[in-house]
Amino acid sequence: MKKTGVILLIGVGWMIAAFTHETPLPGSTAALGRKLFFDPILSRTYTISCASCHQPAHAFADTSAVSTGIFNRKGKRNTPSAMNTRLQVSFFWDGRASTLEEQALIPIANPDEMGLPVDEAVARLQKNKYYRTAFKQLFHENPSRENLAKALAGFERTLETNDTPFDDWRLHENEAAVSAAAKRGFALFNGKAECIKCHFGPDFNNVEFRSIGLFDGKQLNDSGRAAITHRATDLGKFKIGSLRNIAQTAPYMHNGMFKTLAEVIDYYNDPDKVVPHSINRDTLLQKPLSLTNREKQDLEAFLRTLSGKEM
């Protein structure tokens, strides 16, 4: 039988991905990054790849509140989508990385995720004939921290969404692309629901960090951005993420505490009902929105139009 693709070698509880000599070499940096993104060679135990937590079927996010890494270790925060990152200026919920290249290497070394020091990951790639050849072909040098980061970031930059029903409606003036409920929801998004104050632009996000009231110092004690800046004013603040493909990326928030979009909308409608003693909540959320049930449904209908074709 002819050998093609990836051979999975099972031994001592480890799964090792090895490309055969017949596997075509990638023709671009992004194509190389894609292979690396799906290859568990970058994890300590050869069992976890980037795609283990950033799943294509879920807009490159995860379906768990927090993801599971090597040795079944649980992460600290919800896995955000790896899509629509090209225009972002910071990464991770607390913004600790300022470039995609910087972001790409951090999960590899994180002991709760892939758990492999980056220098060891590079050494593996240098010993692997397929990857050594691929890196030399594309970068004219052996694998390194820098070109590993460039390859992974190059792939992530290809994961852009602009083929949604919303885009068809607003950019291409196809009135039939979305429902009447979604159109009402879009009006609410820009008006009564006040979503537009934090979610705007081509990806419906923002470069700011905001506290939406999910910190109370007790059950909810992730200090967020403050752990990076050490400023009391940043307590409980988190990155404002893109809303593109939001219907595919449940559960929601930095801790995955809301399972559905309806729960998210209910929270924003009246945060005090969910977290009555929040600390440092943004002034935008001081008063209930007083959305009716129909308005909540219309708002959700609009958010669902932001999903593109399945990857």
- Feature table: binding site for heme c: 50, 53-54, 195, 198-199
Q: For residue 278, with 0-12 CB atoms within 10 Å meaning exposed, 13-18 middle and 19 or more buried, which class applies?
A: buried
Q: What is the DSSP letter of 38?
A: T
Tell me the C-alpha distance between 61 and 73, whole Å: 18
Instruction: Read off φ and ψ for residue 196, nearest 5 degrees.
Output: -60, -20
Three-state DSSP state, 237:
strand
Q: Quick check: 264 and 252 in contact, CB under 8 A?
A: yes
Residue with tokens 């200026």: 89
Query: Are the beta carbons of 14 and 71 closer than 8 angstroms?
Result: no
In this structure, are residues 25 and 128 in contact, taking their beta carbons and an 8 Å threshold? Answer: no
CB atoms within 10 A of CB 127: 10
